[in-house]
Amino acid sequence: MPVFDLATTELRDLNASLHALDKEGGNEEFEVTNPRGAHAVAVGIDAPVDVHIKGSVGYYCAGMNETAHITVHGNAGPGVAENMMSGKVVIKGDASQYAGATAHGGLLVIEGNASSRCGISMKGIDIVVKGNIGHMSAFMAQSGNLVVLGDAGDALGDSLYEARLFVRGTVKSLGADCIKKDMRPEHIEILAKLLSDAGITDVKPDEFTRYGSARQLYNFNIDNADAY
C-alpha cells in the first residue's frame, strides 16, 4: 500500500499519483499521513481506490470525487466532497460549512456534526450526518437525500426543490417553501438503505420526520413575492 507523508511529500505528488490510476483498476489502497489541515487533499479522483487520510484536512477534500472511497480519520474543513459525482466519502470527525455542496451523486457520511449550509445546492448526492447540522442546510437542494440523526439549525431546506430531508431530532426553523411531509413506505425503504449504507444499525427509519418542497417557488408568482 502506497503511503504519502505530507510532512515530507508535496500534496501535488499525492494528487498526481491518484489521478494517474487506471479507471478500470481494482481495489488499490493509499494511506495519507500528516495532512495537517492541507487543502484539496485527494481531489478529482476518477478510479476505484480506497484512500485513508490519517488526520484532519482543510478546504475541499475529496472534491469532484468519482468512484473512490475516501475516509478522513479526523475533521474536514469547508466544502468536503464538493461536486462529488459518485463513490463514498466518510468523515470520522466533524465537517465545516457547505459539506457536499453541488454534489451530483455518491454517499457522504459525517460521523460528527456538520456546520452551516450542509448539502447546499445538492444535485443527487446522499448525505448522512450522525450529529447535528447548522443553519441554511440544503439551501436550494435539487435532488438527493439528506439524513440527520441529530438536530437541524435555522432555515432548513430554504428554496428547496425535490431533495428529501430526513431529520431525527428537532428543527429550529424551516426555510422558504420547505414543509413537513408524510413518511410513506417508499421513504421508509429509502431511509433504511441509507442508514445501512452508512453503517448505522441502531436507529429505525420511523424515528425520522421527512421534509420537502411545498412547490410554491418553482416559478415567480406575485402572490409569493415575500417568500423569494
Query: Pick from 106, 140, 155: which residue ends a domain?
Result: 106
- Specify burial of residue 7 (Cβ count, 10 A radius: 0-12, 13-18, 19+): exposed
pLDDT for position 222 = 64
* Residue 22: predicted pLDDT: 83
Domain boundary among 74, 106, 138: 106
Q: What is the pLDDT of residue 163?
A: 97
- Whether residues 80 and 125 fall in one domain: no
| Structural domain ending residue among the three candidates 84, 106, 128 | 106
Among the ranges given (43-52, 194-203, 212-221), the one the predictor scored with the smallest mean pLDDT: 212-221
What's the alpha-carbon Rg for the chain, to the nearest Å? 18
Amino acid identity of 194?
L
- Say whether both 72 and 143 belong to one domain: no
pLDDT digits (tens, 9 = 90+) for 119-149: 999 999 999 999 999 999 999 999 999 999 9
The total number of structural domains that make up the chain: 2
**Residues 200-220: pLDDT tens digits?**
999 999 999 999 999 887 666
Whether 42 and 131 map to the same domain: the answer is: no
Three-state SS for 128-162 is EECCCECCCCCCCCCEEEEEECCCECCCECCCCCC
Question: Is residue 1 domain-shared with residue 102, that is, in the same domain?
Answer: yes
What was the pLDDT predicted at 145?
Answer: 98
Do 89 and 148 lie in a common domain?
Answer: no
pLDDT, one tens digit per residue, over 100-126 is 999 999 999 999 999 999 999 999 999
Confidence category of residue 23, pLDDT binned at 50, 70, 90: confident
**Same structural domain, 19 and 76:** yes
Are residues 89 and 123 located together in one domain of the fold? Answer: no
The whole domain housing 52 covers 1-106
Question: What is the mean predicted confidence (pLDDT) over 185-189?
Answer: 97
